[in-house]
Structures are given as C-alpha cells and as structure tokens.
Amino acid sequence: MDIATTRRRPRLAQSVIDALKKQIESGALAVGDRLPTEPQLEAQFDVSRTVIREAIAELRAAGLVTPVQGKGMFVTESASATILTPTEIQSIPQTLEMIEFRIAVETEAAAIAAYRRSAQQEADIRTANQFLKSQVDAGEATIEADFAFHQAIAKAANNRHFVDALDRFGARSIPRSQFPTLPDAESRDYLQKVIGEHERILEAISEQDPEAARQAMRAHLTGSQKRYRQLAR
C-alpha cells in the first residue's frame, strides 16, 4: 500500500462516519434500525469494504451501533445521547488546556484592546463579528469566522505577542473545531449565543472599558471551558 492510499483512507472513513451519524441524529436511522449491509454501504458511499469496516468499527467504539449475531449492525439506545468518537474523547484534555491558555492570554488582550484600539481596529472587530453572523445566517462553516473575531481583538491590543500566540494555533484553537460530531457544534441556537457573547466583548472595547472587556472575554471563554469539562464526565 502506498503512502497516498494510507493517507486517503482515514478521510474516506471519516466521511462515512459523518454521514451515518447525521442519519442517526436526524432520525433517518432510528434506535433499533439495522444499518445497510457492507455491500450496500460500499455502493452508497462508493468506497472499499475496508473503508466501510473502519467506519463501522469507529461507530461501534463510540457506542452508536452494536452487532447482533447473524443479523447485522444496529443503532443503539445510546445513540440518542451525545456520543463522541475515540479521537474526540482523546482531544478533551488538550482542548481544556487550550481554553485555559486562551483565558490567560485573551482576557488581557481584550482589556488592552479596549484602551489601545484605533477606530479602524474597532471597525475590524465589528466586521469580523458581522461576518460570523452572515455565516450563521447562510448555514455556512463558522470556525474560521469565529477565529477571525478573536484574532482582530489580538491585533487591536497592538502587541505582536498576542497576535503571535493566536496565530501559532490558528482556527484549531476554537474548541468546536475538534468536536465535529457534537450535535450542537454548528447549531444556530449555540452560535447565536456565541455571537451575543462576542457583541458584549465588542461593546466593552468600543466603550474603551478595559475591565468590562476583560470580564466579557473571561465569561465567553469560561463558558466554553465548562461546556467541554462536562464532556469529560
């Protein structure tokens, strides 16, 4: 097997996993339903049997499906709960460390931005949040837009070390980028809450109130911290 094939297979398996999870979450595959057979899944997704078996193995490890001898693979009761893949579970400690780091850095960046920002930098922060809103309204991906908002605040602090700290990790510092299977990872209700928290940070920066900016950013990030701590339980 060549390197290209090795690299391609996990991505193919992940696309099958994501598609089947969406069917389970939407109810198209309900609790107790039998998954299509391996040949049917091969035809449906136009992939090899090896890819299908890898995808089913991960769904099984996540508790979403279970085999019944002689009958096939069935959607389990636990599929109605929030189930993470093994990869997502392994990423929880790193995600919490990242949020902790961001709390330490970004609360002060927001406070400094509140008194150092220029009119143009304030406008850039506002534009970034408007872009996030437009992405939510259009049902498009929001992780890059979310990161751009935080990046604009770091730039408004006018200290290159804040910018360097965020740029080092990029959009993967946005926690939900590591948890694509969370049901509410891109839900409108959750993202509207994020936008509201961003607006409070923006308002404090606009009013040049460092303490309010610090507290608004801390509330935003600690809320995320609590959310991902719950996943670890």
Query: Cα separation of 141 and 195, whole Å?
Result: 14
pLDDT for the residue numbered 77:
63
**Prediction pTM value:** 0.66
Query: What is the CATH code of the structural domain delimited by 3-80?
Result: 1.10.10.10
Residue 223, Cβ neighbours under 10 Å: how many? 13
pLDDT for the residue numbered 4:
43
> Which tokens belong to 199?
């607006």
Q: Is 33 exposed, middle or buried (0-12, 13-18, 19+ CB in 10 A)?
A: middle
Domain ranges of the chain: 3-80, 86-231
Cα 34 to Cα 64, 67, 69, 99, 155: the distances in Å are 12, 9, 12, 39, 52
Q: Mean pLDDT for each 10-residue chunk of the chain (233 residues)?
A: 42 84 81 91 93 89 83 76 71 93 97 98 98 92 96 98 96 89 73 94 98 97 88 67
pLDDT for the residue numbered 41:
95
214-222: Cβ within 8 A, 24+ apart: 214/107, 214/108, 214/110, 214/111, 216/110, 217/106, 217/107, 217/109, 217/110, 217/111, 217/153, 218/103, 218/107, 220/194, 221/99, 221/102, 221/103, 221/106, 221/107, 222/103
86-231 CATH, one of 3.40.50.10320, 1.20.120.530, 1.10.287.130, 2.40.160.20 = 1.20.120.530
